[in-house]
Each structure stands twice: as structure tokens, then as C-alpha cells.
Amino acid sequence: MANTARNPVKSVETTFKVLNALRDLDGAGVTELAQHLDVPKSTIHNYLSTLEQEEYVVKQDGVYEVGLRFLELGAYARHHRKLFRIAKPEVDRLAEETGELANILVEEHGRGSYLYRARGDKAVRVKAHIGTRVPLHTTALGKAILAHLPAERVDDIVDRHGLGGEPPKAIDTREELADALADVRDRGVAFDDEERLEGLRCVAAPVLNHDHEVIGAISVSGPTNRFRGERFREELAQKVLEVANVIELNVTYS
């Protein structure tokens, strides 16, 4: 959980500042990027031309864009995770059988990263892309993970990223969080009742390995009108739990 490198390579930091700015601006020219980052044109030019030479950035009609080699690296990072390889087909099935949106989330650097998302035929449209990072305490997926992390790691994560945040209903205090996590451990599943997004509910279950460590969580989410009463609390919760158990078995024996 080390936070700061002792001898940081500043150019690495700059490189990613440039890449992220390129993403935030949806592509940009040298001058635009330079004033956006408040860095001399020539410096930006050096970085962009190097990144282009290395083929991580593309120049189209005088505009630099984030290149597809990141798709290569990203697809690798995802496929490299055992959880993804094993859980994907199961989550596809979950989406098909429920008709809703099914997700896989893993923890990385104290935040949640969506590893995969499968759409059933009635699945709601949410803006979050694959790879999007979210605070763990604001989603059912995240709470399912936090509930099974060692207490000290949960503390670290809260220290690092805090609680609360933009969703008005978000968990605010450590007591609230502790209660919520105990509840999740009790039930085996975590719920999200429009906490993160208005009108959206979600049931999530953790995926543990043979040493009882969380390696991620899966969920089903959908509109409040289809996620209520028996179906939400019992039927869907049961289904998600079942699928999580299947994944756990496959993770252990393979």
C-alpha cells in the first residue's frame, strides 16, 4: 500500500498526464494541450511525437488521439486475471437468464474497476464504460468486496479515498460502513438501493478464493420497477449468489 515512490521518474508522471488530458479533451492539438496542462508547447510536442513514434498515440488530421495499443495492453491486463477468464461465461449466462445488466468488479489501488459487463435483452443503459473506476463504498459490488477484506485494508482504503462523495445517499461515516459491511457478511449479498444512481438497484455477491480472500464481485442491476419485493431481495439475490458460488468452484479447481 505504498503511496509515493522514493525516486519517482517525473517523465512517467508527465507521460500519463499527457495521455489523460488527451482523453479528457477527446483528442487535441499541441497548443491546446499545452495550455490545458500549462506546459510549454515544445515540451508537449516532445512527448506527443515520442508517443506517436512508439505508436501509443495517433495523429489524424493534425489532431492527436489516444491509440489502440492501449486496447492491446488493457485487453491483456483483463485477460491475465483468472477471475475474468472464469467468470465471463457465467456472467454472460446470468445476464441472459435475468435479461438484466450483469457486472464483474475487482479492487485495485483501493478503488473498484469494472472488468466486464454483459447485457441481457432488457438491460438498462448506463454510461459507465468497462475499466471505469468507482469508489468501493458507493456500489453493491464494492460493498461485497469490502465486507470480505481484512479490517486493516478497509481502514487503509477509507484513509486513502474517504467516504461520502457525490451520490447524496452515499455512506458517510465509518460506523455506517461497519454496519453495512456486517450486514453484507450476514446476508451473503450486498444491495444498492438507488444509492449511486437514481432509479437503479443492484444485488452483488463476492467471489472468494480457496483461502477465503475476495478476488472480486459480481452483480445484477436494473430499474427499480423491475427490482422490488420478492424478486429483488430473494430471487435475484439467490441467483447472483449461485453464480458466484459456481465461479468460486471453478476458480479453485483449475
Partner DNA sequence: GGATTCGTCCCATATGGGTGAACAACTGTT
Partner DNA sequence: AACAGTTGTTCACCCATATGGGACGAATCC
Residues that bind its own copies (CB under 8 A): 2-9, 11-13, 15-16, 19, 23, 26-27, 45-47, 49-56, 58, 65-80, 106, 108-109, 113, 115, 129-133
Q: Does 3 sit near DNA (CB under 7 A)?
A: no
DSSP one-letter code for 67: -
C-alpha 65/C-alpha 68 separation (Å) is 9
Q: Does 238 sit near DNA (CB under 7 A)?
A: no
In this structure, the strands spanning 63-66 and 111-119 are unpaired
Nearer to DNA, 31 or 224 (CB): 31
Q: Does 53 sit near DNA (CB under 7 A)?
A: no
The region of 30-38, 79-87, 141-149, 246-254 touching DNA under the rule CB under 7 A is: 30-38
Which does residue 224 touch among its own copies, DNA, none (CB within 5 to 8 A, set by kind)?
none
Q: Which of 16, 23, 31, 75 binds DNA (CB under 7 A)?
A: 31
Closest approach, Cβ 253 to DNA, in A, equals 24
Which does residue 108 touch among DNA, its own copies, none (CB within 5 to 8 A, set by kind)?
its own copies
The separation between the first and the last C-alpha atoms of the chain, rounded to the nearest angstrom, is: 29
Q: Which of 3, 6, 53, 254 binds DNA (CB under 7 A)?
A: 6
The residues, ordered by sequence, that sit 6+ positions from 80 with a Cβ below 8 Å of its Cβ are none
Q: Does 43 sit near DNA (CB under 7 A)?
A: yes
Closest approach, Cβ 150 to DNA, in A, equals 17
Q: Which of 21, 27, 36, 39 binds DNA (CB under 7 A)?
A: 39
Nearer to DNA, 59 or 233 (CB): 59
Whether the CB-CB separation of 58 and 67 falls below 8 Å is answered with yes
| 109, 114, 159, 233 from 6: Cα distances, Å | 18, 30, 21, 49
Closest approach, Cβ 7 to its own copies, in A, equals 5
Closest approach, Cβ 32 to its own copies, in A, equals 16
The residues, ordered by sequence, that sit 6+ positions from 188 with a Cβ below 8 Å of its Cβ are 205, 241
Residues near DNA (CB under 7 A) = 2, 6-11, 14, 29-32, 39-43, 45-49, 59, 62
